[in-house]
A and B are shown apart, each in its own frame.
Chain A
Amino acid sequence: MTDFRKDFVKYAKSLNEASEDKNIRTAISRAVSSYRNTVSETLERFPHTPALAEEVQEIKTRSMASLDTLLEQAMASVERNKGKAFYAKDHQAALEIALGIIGKGKTVVKGKSMLGEELHLREYLEENGNEVWETDLGEFILQLRKERPMHILSPSIHVPREQVAEVFTKFFKKEVPPDIAEEVKVVREFLREKYFTSDVGISGANVVAADTGAMVIIENEGNVRLATGAPPVHIVMVGVEKLVPTFQDAMKVAEVTWRYAQYGVPGYVNIVSGPSKTGDIEKVTTYGAHGPKEFYVIFVDNGRKEMAQEEKFTQALHCLRCGGCMYECPVFQVTAGHFGHTYMGGIGTVWTAFVSGGMEKAAPLVYSCLRCGRCVERCPMSINVPAMIGELRERIVYGTYED
């Protein structure tokens, strides 16, 4: 017998508190109008985008139907490029593989990654005797505040500059004024040193091309280039749902992702396929020229393949994590990441059920979705979240799910 009643009461309370939080409200209203404006402007500027998004839907459908083949191909490609590829069946395996590569007593710089959140990667590496730094500014702020992200792309969306200044002043042991440029500057100085003295850089990837083993990472801050370029070791941890057959496919997925993720045109698109190398002296290939000498990719399953096999849920794996749906979600607009566990909003609820938390964590979230369907209008992949929520409700009511 699973009794959900206490969980619902607790969750309702957290939603109510969030909806009274002025920081969340101000930040999200600002973010929503900025999101809508940027996306409509850039869609006008790049009118081929919706058609490209349809093509990407097809690529994703094909990819999820042949996930095993793609995984095999991608792992072979990484090895051919002189990297090392791993497959992690679950959460624990993923963490252990990463720790096996890193060891103890190391310094690690990390790019923003929802998979990292799903695995509690930073906490795990720290517990095992490593020093880990989040390099995305938002994630860095949350690391210092010991909080979890409130949005997948703008994790510290709920923290205003005054509170940033407060936590920085304490951490850097010097007066940091509530001035955004100053705040950015102190972190830049601090992390710059870390990039060049750390042992390992960890990143995620937005899309992976199986034919070439190319990891595509979209960013604006430039932290990913440094974190994946400066240290001697680069580890990519990526969910298997990010696999697509070809490099050309990957470019299409990347463009649609950044357009709907409000980048317009992203500052940086990193494509990494293997360790740094040179053949400049006598044409002898030598690894570790300027970038990392060692390159590892850990492909993480953790429930994704099971999802891919469920006809009613496989489409949830098409999610590009652009975050557009969250801006259109009336519940998210007033509660931010409180409507979520690791993954947020309606789509995040589906992911919670299968990948991060399980049905028991998902159940209250499942019932706070309005099933209003505006997320489907926004979603470049047209993921039918309300239908999935309906299916999850049925499984919860009749207890027809696996623990």
Chain B
Amino acid sequence: METKMPMVLDVISENIIKHGSPLALKGSEVASWAKELNLPVKGDLLFYTGGEYQMLPFIDSLVKTITHLDQGSKVFSMMMGARNILNKTGISPEKMYASVLAKDKDRYNSVCFKAAKVLKELGYEFCYSGSEELYSGALLYELGYLKDMKDYAKRVVEVIKKSGAKTIVCLSPHAAEVFKFVYPKLIEGFDFEIRTYIDLVWERRDKLAKITSPESVVIHDSCRLARELNIHQELRDILESVGAEVKEAQMNREWTSCCGGPIKILFPELSHVIGGRRVNELKDSGSSHILTSCPYCLSALEGGRAKGDSAVIEDLIEFLYRGVKA
């Protein structure tokens, strides 16, 4: 039997399959953060971004456009048209994303740059696939497109293999999760060592520079990191090493509350409510400086923060980079 799914799912799955990015971003755009770093394309340790932080500023724009199409009054005739266009050309990011603010683009692009700089400071040598890098396909897995994922994963692995790396370090816990738990089931002989960015920083945390922050911080544990990958103490150890005062939310570590991000594309309003509640839970810790370690948490918490709320929401990478600049 054939089923017709909400259009946003078609758009995202087809973008991944056709363009190697859920939002059909160009490889050159995704890799633009690395221009000045001259990272090698081959090495033992592969730095893997999956283009996830880079696409964050575009997600809201996509969701807005598609929700409008899905829920508008002239819905169905329009949707058929849109779907046909999509089938032929894919969604045109240039048009859809024209409204994204330059400062948001710069901020999220620079997360990858900052992550690489921090690892360099800690003495890690690594390579990067640049504009050839493909998204891990985590959303295909997440949204139920597992058969498509099987074919797609082969292409991802080809690119990874070109690097000659034995170990992959993933910035996003979602990428780490699928590489660690899903790929071995899909691809015979997928025997790369999968590390998270947090793992690597944690191992050399003694080398991190102290960060003088006037205020305490609170950790938002990401569901994937805390529950699937069992990484939560490491975040606290890292922050202790840089001299930060860590406050704890009532629901933390393996009991952490989800940021609402996973349902953002289909239920944006509800996702927003859930994100807002989590921001408040985190602030109840007594700190308004929220640190997370997952691109989707970062985006969902930013989106959930109430208007006029002065809480600072950062990725741990952004926080650690303060030490690099000093």
Min distance, Cβ B299 to any Cβ of chain A, angstroms: 15
Task: Give complex CA distance A16, B71 in Å.
Answer: 13
Does A267 interact with chain B (Cβ within 8 Å)?
A: no
Instruction: Give which listed residue, A3, A374, A392, A401, contacts B4 with CB less than 8 A.
Output: A3
Task: Give complex CA distance A390, B140 in Å.
Answer: 10
Q: When each residue 256-278 of chain B gets 1 if its CB lies under 8 Å from chain A and 0 otherwise, what string results?
A: 11101011001101100110011
Would A368 and B266 count as touching, CB distance under 8 A? Answer: yes
Does B190 interact with chain A (Cβ within 8 Å)?
A: no
- Using known A-B contacts A2-B3, A9-B70, A377-B254, determine if residue A370 contacts B263 with beta carbons closer than 8 Å: yes
Interface stretch (choices A101-109, A156-164, A296-304, A330-338): A330-338
- State the interface size on chain A (CB cutoff 8 A): 38
Does A287 interact with chain B (Cβ within 8 Å)?
A: no
- Using known A-B contacts A16-B269, A377-B255, determine if residue A393 contacts B144 with beta carbons closer than 8 Å: yes
- State the interface size on chain B (CB cutoff 8 A): 38
Min distance, Cβ B152 to any Cβ of chain A, angstroms: 14
Would A372 and B273 count as touching, CB distance under 8 A? Answer: no
Would B266 and A1 count as touching, CB distance under 8 A? Answer: no
Which of the listed residues B3, B6, B254, B257 has the most CB atoms from chain A within 10 Å of its own CB? B3
In B28-79, the 8 Å CB interface with A consists of 70-71, 75, 79
Does A12 interact with chain B (Cβ within 8 Å)?
A: yes
List the B residue with the shortest CB-CB distance to A11.
B267
Would A370 and B3 count as touching, CB distance under 8 A? Answer: no
The list of the 6 closest CB pairs from A to B, nearest first, reads A393-B144, A372-B258, A399-B1, A3-B4, A397-B144, A372-B223
In B98-157, the 8 Å CB interface with A consists of 141-147
Residues of B within 8 A of A41 (CB): none
Interface of A is mostly: helix
Task: Give complex CA distance A373, B222 in Å.
Answer: 11
Residues of A within 8 A of B269 (CB): 12, 15-16, 19
Residues of A within 8 A of B86 (CB): none
Does A68 interact with chain B (Cβ within 8 Å)?
A: no
- Using known A-B contacts A4-B5, A334-B273, A396-B3, determine if residue A374 contacts B146 with beta carbons closer than 8 Å: no
- Using known A-B contacts A9-B71, A331-B274, determine if residue A15 contacts B267 with beta carbons closer than 8 Å: yes
Residues of B within 8 A of A367 (CB): 6, 143, 263, 266-267
Task: Give complex CA distance A19, B257 in Å.
Answer: 17
Does A394 interact with chain B (Cβ within 8 Å)?
A: yes
Does B228 interact with chain A (Cβ within 8 Å)?
A: yes
Does A87 interact with chain B (Cβ within 8 Å)?
A: no
Does B2 interact with chain A (Cβ within 8 Å)?
A: yes
List the A residue with the shortest CB-CB distance to B8.
A8
Q: When each residue 107-151 of chain A gets 1 if its CB lies under 8 Å from chain B and 0 otherwise, what string results?
A: 000000000000000000000000000000000000000000000
Would B145 and A397 count as touching, CB distance under 8 A? Answer: yes
* Chain A to chain B contacts (Cβ below 8 Å), 10 pairs: A2-B2, A4-B6, A5-B4, A8-B266, A331-B263, A370-B262, A371-B262, A398-B3, A399-B1, A401-B1
Q: When each residue 283-306 of chain B gets 1 if its CB lies under 8 Å from chain A and 0 otherwise, what string results?
A: 000000000000000000000000
- Using known A-B contacts A5-B70, A330-B257, determine if residue A397 contacts B262 with beta carbons closer than 8 Å: no
In A270-291, the 8 Å CB interface with B consists of none
Q: A15-B270, A334-B277, A374-B256 are in contact. List 11 more A-B contacts (CB 8 A).
A: A3-B3, A4-B4, A8-B6, A330-B258, A331-B270, A367-B6, A370-B223, A372-B223, A373-B228, A397-B145, A399-B1
List the A residue with the shortest CB-CB distance to B75.
A9
Interface of B is mostly: helix
Min distance, Cβ A202 to any Cβ of chain B, angstroms: 37
Which of the listed residues A5, A335, A370, A393 has the most CB atoms from chain B within 10 Å of its own CB? A370
Task: Give complex CA distance A2, B2 in Å.
Answer: 6
Task: Give complex CA distance A283, B144 in Å.
Answer: 65
Residues of A within 8 A of B257 (CB): 330, 372, 374
Task: Give complex CA distance A340, B167 in Å.
Answer: 43
Does B18 interact with chain A (Cβ within 8 Å)?
A: no
Would A368 and B267 count as touching, CB distance under 8 A? Answer: yes
Does B211 interact with chain A (Cβ within 8 Å)?
A: no
Instruction: Give which listed residue, A12, A370, A399, contacts B258 with CB less than 8 A.
Output: A370
Would B1 and A374 count as touching, CB distance under 8 A? Answer: no
Task: Give complex CA distance A344, B131 in Å.
Answer: 45
Min distance, Cβ B223 to any Cβ of chain A, angstroms: 4
Would B3 and A1 count as touching, CB distance under 8 A? Answer: yes
Residues of A within 8 A of B260 (CB): 330, 370
Would A393 and B227 count as touching, CB distance under 8 A? Answer: no
Task: Give complex CA distance A68, B273 in Å.
Answer: 46
Would B267 and A5 count as touching, CB distance under 8 A? Answer: no
Residues of A within 8 A of B242 (CB): none
Task: Give complex CA distance A190, B140 in Å.
Answer: 56
Which of the listed residues A9, A16, A331, A400 has the most CB atoms from chain B within 10 Å of its own CB? A331
Min distance, Cβ A34 to any Cβ of chain B, angstroms: 14
Which of the listed residues B2, B5, B223, B260 has the most CB atoms from chain A within 10 Å of its own CB? B5
Would A19 and B273 count as touching, CB distance under 8 A? Answer: yes
Would B263 and A2 count as touching, CB distance under 8 A? Answer: no
Min distance, Cβ A88 to any Cβ of chain B, angstroms: 28
Instruction: Give which listed residue, A5, A368, A394, A396, contacts B263 with CB less than 8 A.
Output: A368
Min distance, Cβ A12 to any Cβ of chain B, angstroms: 5
Residues of A within 8 A of B147 (CB): 394, 398
Q: When each residue 348-389 of chain A gets 1 if its CB lies under 8 Å from chain B and 0 otherwise, what string results?
A: 000000000000000000011111111011000000000000
Does B209 interact with chain A (Cβ within 8 Å)?
A: no
Would A394 and B3 count as touching, CB distance under 8 A? Answer: no
Residues of A within 8 A of B263 (CB): 331, 367-370
Min distance, Cβ A267 to any Cβ of chain B, angstroms: 30
Instruction: Give which listed residue, A3, A334, A373, A396, contacts B144 with CB less than 8 A.
Output: A396
Residues of B within 8 A of A370 (CB): 223, 258, 260, 262-263, 274
Residues of A within 8 A of B141 (CB): 390
Task: Give complex CA distance A367, B274 in Å.
Answer: 15
Min distance, Cβ B5 to any Cβ of chain A, angstroms: 6
Residues of B within 8 A of A377 (CB): 227, 254-255
Task: Give complex CA distance A398, B227 in Å.
Answer: 29
Residues of A within 8 A of B2 (CB): 1-2, 399
Instruction: Give which listed residue, B3, B143, B227, contacts A399 with CB less than 8 A.
Output: B3
